[in-house]
């Protein structure tokens, strides 16, 4: 036992935070890998004119993630965060390999890959739910903001990694290129599994299970001050007690009662707008977008995803620098306005100048990605983490996550169908209008959370509900 304690004691907080957030790499890799794999897959299976099948193959992971996040949240309360992250890594490894070895059976191959990628999506959704929960429970309160930024950096780093892998494999024979791109997703999953084997369980989970001695021991690895450990243990106990009482008093209908409706609509609305604004259309389909704009083969345009990936990583670092310098609403409105114009202006320019350089749209997409990367991408989840009162936090956060995954799935599914039936500029203009609607939503329906305690934010929602009740015409 003493040997094991010494072995655990050697685990540094840096190791815990690195592998605690490493699940973001898996999430990001699988978002990005299909970007490069899709052109080769289309050519290999002759899917160039099968827009709906291409949409389903691309978005199947997100469809599975809708259920994976909800399922993992419930199971992690029973079995622990660490065990469920390990299980997610195993599922990710297995179905990544099965994606890479998809049999060539004509149209049936596409349905096989759709099903496998849906099951892979269970692991992606689980990782997206479990990693932030584990990190928030391991990190000291003063570091949670920066560490939420670390999770976002891991996600976009995973996307960039997948883009680089796609680029390096692009000269292989087409039937091998896409298989290796998809199958190599098992490598970061294996690294995650091996790293998490050495991670401790969340002290919060251990306390909920009545193991205070082990919770105190783990906190001693990542907190230096004994008084801080005692204070945190007492705080966790009090919060757990309040959550149990809240769960006994609330139901799904509580979310839409007058007291909470304003904050629930705000949080769920921001989560939904983040995806319906069309970011994933760029991340999934940028080589095909460039192909349609220029006529060059999509498989020869795999440098563009790397450009997008670099912008995303730089943007995530910019966010960590400015996160506490500007109001949440200000960043969301400025970001959304520029994103909307980046989508709308190419359509306007093309209408006024039909001979516009086709690469103009790609330049504007880069501007979109830059502003998305340090506004809506990270701030959505910061705001969702802050805005929901304790009594409804679990259910409301789950609802916000579900709407976000539904938006991600639908954008991935319908984008190729839309571009097959209308000009590309018109499709992006539609997403641009949604971006502007998102700005209006933030302006009118979302409270400022920066610098406010959770209690003050809840009071804003309560007061807003009272005003609405007393002035129904408003």
Taking the C-alpha atoms of residue 175 and residue 268, their distance in angstroms, rounded to an integer, is 41
Q: How many CB atoms lie within 10 A of CB 386?
A: 17
Percent of the chain with pLDDT over 90: 32
pLDDT tier at 462, thresholds 50, 70, 90: low
Contact 61, 171 (CB under 8 A): no
Burial of 142 (0-12, 13-18, 19+ CB in 10 A): exposed
Taking the C-alpha atoms of residue 22 and residue 45, their distance in angstroms, rounded to an integer, is 33
Taking the C-alpha atoms of residue 465 and residue 460, their distance in angstroms, rounded to an integer, is 9
Considering only the C-alpha atoms of the chain, give the largest distance between any 2 of them, rounded to a whole number of Å: 76
* Any domain includes 394: yes
Taking the C-alpha atoms of residue 259 and residue 154, their distance in angstroms, rounded to an integer, is 36
* Any domain includes 244: no
* Any domain includes 225: no
- Average confidence score pLDDT of the chain: 83
Q: Measure CA 216 to chain center.
A: 32
Q: How many domains does the chain have?
A: 2
Residues 302 and 166 in one domain: no
Taking the C-alpha atoms of residue 95 and residue 112, their distance in angstroms, rounded to an integer, is 11
> CATH no. for residue 186?
1.20.1250.20
Residues 177 and 268 in one domain: no
Residue 8 has pLDDT above 60, yes or no: no
Residues 175 and 280 in one domain: no
| Residue ranges making up the domain that contains 20 | 14-199
Q: Is 453 helix (H, G, I), strand (E, B) or coil?
A: coil
* Any domain includes 412: yes
* Any domain includes 411: yes
Q: Is 5 helix (H, G, I), strand (E, B) or coil?
A: helix
Residues 162 and 261 in one domain: no
**What pLDDT, on a 0 to 100 scale, did the predictor assign at position 440?**
97
Residues 286 and 390 in one domain: yes
Q: Please tell me which residue, 24 or 332, carries the higher pLDDT value.
A: 332
Tokens of 350: 């093309």
Residue 471 has pLDDT above 60, yes or no: no
Residues 142 and 270 in one domain: no
Residue 455 has pLDDT above 70, yes or no: no
Q: Please tell me which residue, 308 or 229, carries the higher pLDDT value.
A: 308
Tell me: the pLDDT tens digits for 66-122? 888 778 777 887 888 888 889 999 999 999 999 999 988 777 889 999 999 999 999
Residues 258 and 334 in one domain: yes
Residues 289 and 379 in one domain: yes
* Any domain includes 240: no
- Report which secondary-structure segment, H or E, holds 272: helix 261-276
Residues 170 and 306 in one domain: no
Residues 331 and 400 in one domain: yes
Whose CA is closest to 85, among 136, 121, 126?
A: 126
* Any domain includes 233: no
Residue 244 has pLDDT above 80, yes or no: no
Tell me: the pLDDT tens digits for 263-305? 889 999 999 999 999 998 898 888 888 887 777 766 667 888 8
Residues 44 and 163 in one domain: yes
Tokens of 153: 């950096």
**What pLDDT, on a 0 to 100 scale, did the predictor assign at position 32?**
87
pLDDT tier at 216, thresholds 50, 70, 90: confident
Contact 153, 107 (CB under 8 A): no
Residue 131 has pLDDT above 90, yes or no: no
Taking the C-alpha atoms of residue 236 and residue 44, their distance in angstroms, rounded to an integer, is 54
* Any domain includes 83: yes
Residues of the chain by 3-state class (helix, strand, coil), percent to 5:
85, 0, 15
Report the chain's terminal Cα–Cα distance, integer Å.
65
Q: What are phi and psi of 80, to 5 degrees?
A: 105, 150
Residues 49 and 137 in one domain: yes
**What pLDDT, on a 0 to 100 scale, did the predictor assign at position 398?**
77
**What stretches of 197-254 show up as alpha helix (H) in DSSP?**
203-208, 212-222, 226-249
**What stretches of 170-211 show up as alpha helix (H) in DSSP?**
174-183, 186-196, 203-208
Q: Please tell me which residue, 165 or 452, carries the higher pLDDT value.
A: 165
């Amino acid at each position: 036992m003493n040997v094991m304690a010494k072995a655990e004691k050697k685990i540094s907080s840096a190791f815990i935070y690195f592998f605690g957030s490493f699940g973001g790499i898996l999430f990001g890799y699988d978002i990005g890998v299909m970007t490069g794999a899709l052109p080769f897959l289309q050519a290999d299976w002759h899917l160039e004119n099968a827009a709906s099948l291409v949409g389903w193959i691309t978005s199947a992971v997100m469809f599975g993630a809708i259920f994976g996040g909800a399922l993992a949240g419930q199971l992690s309360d029973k079995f622990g965060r660490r065990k469920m992250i390990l299980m997610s890594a195993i599922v990710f490894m297995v179905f990544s390999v099965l994606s890479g070895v998809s049999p060539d059976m004509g149209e049936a191959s596409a349905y096989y890959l759709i099903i496998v990628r849906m099951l892979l999506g269970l692991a992606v959704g689980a990782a997206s739910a479990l990693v932030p929960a584990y990190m928030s429970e391991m990190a000291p309160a003063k570091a949670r903001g920066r560490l939420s930024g670390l999770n976002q950096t891991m996600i976009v780093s995973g996307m960039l990694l997948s883009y680089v892998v796609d680029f390096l494999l692009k000269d292989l024979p087409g039937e091998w290129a896409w298989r290796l791109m998809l199958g190599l997703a098992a490598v970061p999953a294996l690294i995650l599994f091996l790293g998490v084997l050495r991670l401790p369980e969340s002290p919060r989970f251990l306390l909920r299970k009545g193991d205070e001695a082990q919770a105190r021991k783990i906190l001693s690895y990542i907190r230096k001050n004994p008084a801080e450990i005692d204070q945190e243990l007492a705080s966790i106990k009090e919060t757990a007690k309040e959550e149990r009482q809240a769960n006994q008093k609330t139901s799904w209908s509580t979310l839409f009662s007058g007291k909470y409706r304003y904050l629930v609509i705000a949080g769920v609305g921001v989560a939904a707008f983040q995806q319906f604004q069309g970011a994933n259309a760029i991340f999934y389909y940028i080589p095909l977008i460039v192909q349609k704009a220029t006529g060059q083969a999509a498989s020869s345009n795999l440098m563009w995803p790397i450009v997008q990936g670099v912008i995303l990583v730089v943007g995530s670092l910019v966010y960590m620098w400015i996160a506490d310098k500007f109001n949440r609403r200000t960043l969301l409105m400025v970001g959304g306005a520029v994103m909307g114009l980046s989508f709308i202006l190419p359509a306007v320019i093309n209408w006024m100048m039909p001979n516009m350089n086709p690469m103009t749209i790609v330049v504007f997409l880069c501007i979109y990605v830059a502003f998305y990367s340090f506004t809506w991408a990270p701030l959505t989840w910061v705001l969702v983490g802050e805005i929901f009162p304790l009594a409804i936090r679990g259910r409301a956060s789950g609802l916000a996550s579900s709407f976000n995954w539904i938006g991600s799935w639908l954008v991935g599914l319908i984008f190729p169908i839309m571009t097959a039936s209308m000009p590309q500029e018109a499709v992006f203009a539609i997403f641009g209008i949604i971006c502007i609607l998102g700005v209006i939503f933030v302006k009118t329906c979302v409270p400022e959370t920066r610098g406010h305690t959770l209690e003050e934010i809840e009071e804003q929602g309560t007061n807003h509900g009272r005003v609405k009740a007393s002035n129904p015409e408003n």
